[in-house]
Amino acid sequence: MCSHHHNSHAHSHQHQHHDHAHDRVHAFSWAVFAYMLGLLAFITGLLLGQGSLLANVLYSLTVILSGYHVLSEGLLETWQASYKARRFCPNTHLLMGLAAMGAMLIGQFQEAALLILIFAGAHFLEDYAEAKSKKEMTSLLAMQPQEARLLARDGIVTIVPVQDLAVGDQVQVLNGAQIPIDGRIVNGQAVINEAMINGESIPQEKSVGDRVYAATLNGNSSFVMRVTRLADQTTFAKILGLVKEAQAKQGPVATRIQRLEPVYVKGALLFTALYALVMALWASLSLHELAYRTLVMLIALSPCALAASAIPATLSALSNLAKQGVLVKAGSHLHQVSELSAIAFDKTGTLTQGRPQVTDILLSAEAEKLLAVWVSMERQANHPLAQAIVARYADLPVLDLEVSNQMGQGLYADYQGHSYQVAKPTAFEAVAPDYGRQGREWESQGKTVVYLAQNQEVLGAVALMDIAKEDARQTLDYFKRVGVKTVMLTGDAELTGQVIGQQLGIQSVQAQVMPDQKAEEIRKLMDKHQMVAMVGDGVNDAPALASASLGIAMGQGTDVAMETADVILVRNQLQSLSYLHRLAKKHDRIIWQNIGFSMIVVLALVIMNVGQVSNIALSVVGHEGSTLLVILNGLRLLVPLSSRGES
């Protein structure tokens, strides 16, 4: 396979960036300086007048200085690629290089210089446009912490590079400072702005034992934290790595264009040769005019705009999504998103909050007075249901109780001569009709019921449920509206799954499915719907995420899920999915607009040359102007989409 590794100015046709930014900047600066020298030589030549020997020498200098990178990529890299592949592997710059040298051979020094100036100048502008889209993305995550205040056991603080920190080290974070690494607070408390990680604008209150993340901002108090992850393993580092990975990968259209480039250039050279032959046999042209027309045809067939149709657009879309808290690991996934015909969701932690909450309460007047007893009992339990009840009544006084946890019978405690019990309905043989009827009704709604009893008499009931996220219904409605089938795959009970499914309007619910069964259900969906996405957050979702056409992980999910997925919703917001789908659709439309426009320009320039109404300057302006328009059209994807569903 023919491949080209264009260097120095990193043009979007398929230039691959040098690993060292300094070298790249230096090379680009030299190219700009040489271009300006060439431009000066061209202007001086114009002042000397047409046809003078010195003017032609200056025009030749323009070609060499302003176009050295064009000529090197066109000639040198074609030779290198051909030698490596053992067959002729030309690139688009070869067409321009041959045209410039041909013009000089027939004495058209001024037009050769003008061709190079316009062509190279347009490339510099293209590079600027492409760099802007990449800068937009990288600047989003340019807050990588560099240093940390390492706290030794003797209390001495040392400033060290973040990369030198080890798991278990203690780090001091001053008020107003950036947190250097992931860890947990061991001393002090803080109010931390975590918008960089989760998009939440309201600062989070943190105390001893709470997690803190690298690149987030500490408020107005100092604290000490213990390092839990190395610098290259932090949540921020993973986000940054995913962005870099996405930048390096091209979409399918861009890849296809890159592979077709040598084939197209060969075809263009063959067509130009046939054109010259036909014109020589059938047209009454002088040798000079024939050579000139052949050179114009060579320029007209250059697919510069076509080569720039996809990459700037993809980079702009990835940048836009990163700002919205959506990390896409490769540009190719954007096309997959746009082609989705079905999307499957995990339930717990994805469509729902991932933790139970108190939804209903039925208490007798006596129970109201005894509520502090039951809540104090729950405070000593480590069960999610208990935590939910405690969270609901956090303001109640804490009583000093001795609590026992009996398997199948719930929590027991004795207080002021009475026995108290907190348990599920199955722990009680007899329940008052009102509580029994209400409990059954709640259970029919997929809720978990807990009874509160004094001396075996039920005096109160509480219903709990893992409720749907606020944006879940809106997101699912969007996908149904655009014709994408919605499915829920959950390991939860059938009733619970159906209730949540009905609340959210999900078209199909599959409950009580194990992780391997989730993957199998995904494969069945793909047989029917071709392009299928899976959205999940847990280790149990990883097989399904890997099996789907497109895996999407919630940002607060497990590392396994995020590593397996193709897309990560950093802010844990489901509504980001509809934004992703809308932008992916717009991305595809813009690329096809660019391709169509590029081919129309090539066809128009070819027809104009056949009609002998074109020249070198007009062809170059037409090509490079269309290239800039294509890139600017792609940069429209940097603009955030409206919230009204328009794309």
Catalytic residues: 346
Q: Which residue has the tokens 């996934």?
A: 333
User: What Rg do the C-alpha atoms of the chain give, in angstroms?
Assistant: 33
User: Cβ distance 506 to 574 under 8 Å?
Assistant: no
Determine the Cα–Cα distance for residues 303 and 322; give it in Å rounded to an integer. Answer: 31
- Chain centroid to Cα 217, Å, comes to 23
User: Cβ distance 326 to 582 under 8 Å?
Assistant: no
Determine the Cα–Cα distance for residues 480 and 578; give it in Å rounded to an integer. Answer: 11
Q: Which residue has the tokens 């590593």?
A: 563
Q: Which amino acid, residue 296?
A: V
User: Cβ distance 545 to 561 under 8 Å?
Assistant: yes
H or E element that contains 149: strand 147-151
Q: Write the CA distances from 122 to 116, 197, 344, 582, integer angstroms.
A: 10, 38, 46, 31
For every residue of 509-541, which 3-state class applies, written as one string?
A: EECCCCHHHHHHHHHHHHHHHCCEEEEECCHHH
Q: SS3 of 544, please?
A: helix
User: Cβ distance 383 to 423 under 8 Å?
Assistant: no
Determine the Cα–Cα distance for residues 590 and 244; give it in Å rounded to an integer. Answer: 23
Determine the Cα–Cα distance for residues 178 and 189; give it in Å rounded to an integer. Answer: 15
Q: SS3 of 583, please?
A: helix
Classify the phi-psi angles of 86: left when phi > 0, otherwise alpha if psi is within -120 to 50, otherwise beta. Answer: left
Q: Which residue has the tokens 């006084």?
A: 397
User: Cβ distance 604 to 305 under 8 Å?
Assistant: no
Determine the Cα–Cα distance for residues 616 and 299; give it in Å rounded to an integer. Answer: 7
Tokens for 124? 């510099």
Q: SS3 of 469, please?
A: coil
User: Cβ distance 241 to 214 under 8 Å?
Assistant: no
**For residue 461, what are the β-bridge partners?**
362, 451
Q: Write the CA distances from 172 to 89, 148, 168, 301, 334, integer angstroms.
A: 58, 8, 13, 63, 42
